[in-house]
Amino acid sequence: MPQSYPENFLWGTATSAHQVEGNNINADLWAEEHAEGSPYRDYSGDAINHYQLYREDILLLAGLGLNSYRFSIEWARIEPEPGIYSSAEIGHYRDVLQACKENGITPVVTMHHFTSPRWLMRFGGWKNPQTADRFAQYCETVFSELGQDIPYVVTMNEANLPVLLKELFVNLDFMPPVGIDGAAWTAPGWREAAALRCGTTIDKYFTFHMASDEQSLPIVMDAHKKARTAIKALQPAAKVGLSLALPDVQSVAGGEAYAAGKWYDYFGQYKDAIAGDDFLGVQNYAREVYGPQGLIQTADTAEEITGMGTEFYPEALAGSIRRVASELTLPIMVTEHGIATEDDSQRIRFISRGLQGLEGCIADGIPVLGYMYWSAFDNFEWTFGYGPHFGVIAVNRDTQERHVKESAHLLGAIARRNTVRALS
């Protein structure tokens, strides 16, 4: 059988707790959804009820031929009040890990996927330096109970996302999940309502998505480093990293300086924080091209676009990985790569072409540990609600019935064969 990926390569899909579990009522972003005037298009509500259906879902993923599953443990469930840890919720995630083990699935666990406990906002959220210690203590508590069953851990999902959100707001008039610096977004009224729901005032309300300035960015990096230290003290064999959202940053003549600056913002400034990690999680969906006047809107002239209105460009995955590998010696894990589309044949082409590029990276000696497609299921996509469909598995939210798409069968077949070439 032809093989073009390393032996023991991790083939999987990814989810996050808030987006699939449902009823994450102690989280700050649940409060945002329900704040008066909130820009969220839907409430997350029951989501796809993965909190109760995780065993069936993991069995389904294993049946497709996948050998890994990336999911998050929800801080707001584990620690509903400061210093108070829920043994019931720890038991829940213990059984999720057990379900993975029973089905031959390697878990890749994310400790923070955007959501934080509501109570954290009372202490100033992610602009309070003590948040780094609080986050590390939460990680220590989880790993003291569950660490022996977690071989790979991502401390934070897309630690650089707040920086990207600011970029999108400036260039694309994008609606970020929370207000950011400048203009009318400094403190919209709905954020005041969200702060009230978290038991605090607007001056203390500072979610993870807002951590993009000189005060808060070091706190995020400090939280990652302290969490890594706590995890390694308990489970030295655990492979620890964080993930970064990394578009393939390109330039045309005259745009080189713009591109270099953006790559530093997205990646370069995080290099010191990840220097002691075991791997880097790379998350890629698109490219950014810069010219003499700044960002070029590639979607305006693209032959094909995605359901998010972005250019269809699966080759961006290989581009971003090659750029990272030129500056970093750590192994890489593709912790997210996906497309929102109603046309599953487009998703199939996106996956196939992306993986062909990834295969080329591996052939050139770049150490890649695994590939996690985003997402396992059509799920709650933050401010966009349930509209965008990224999943390889559809969900009827009236019945919670799962429907496996052809793209899921393709990904499973690739995983079984450990190659893309045999299927092309």
Q: Contact, 69 vs 105, CB < 8 A? A: yes
Of the residues 32, 33, 158, 288, which is catalytic?
158
Q: Which residues pair with 3 in a beta bridge?
A: none
CA-closest candidate to residue 95, choices 143, 141, 149: 149
Full DSSP string of 269-331? GGHHHHTT-S-EEEEES-EEEEETTEEE-GGGT-S-B-TTS-B--TTHHHHHHHHHHTT--S-
33 flagged as catalytic: no
Question: Rounded CA gap, 73 and 387, in Å?
Answer: 24
Q: Contact, 271 vs 225, CB < 8 A? A: no
Joined tokens for residue 172: 């694309």
**Cα→Cα distances 52→48, 55, 76, 167, 351, Å:** 9, 8, 17, 37, 29
Question: Rounded CA gap, 167 and 188, in Å?
Answer: 19
Q: Coil, helix or strand for 414?
A: helix
Full DSSP string of 12-67? EEE--HHHHT---TTBHHHHHHHSTT---SS--TTTT-HHHHHHHHHHHHHHHT--
Question: Rounded CA gap, 319 and 253, in Å?
Answer: 18
CA-closest candidate to residue 296, choices 282, 274, 313, 279: 313
Instruction: Indicate which residues carry an active-site annotation.
Output: 158
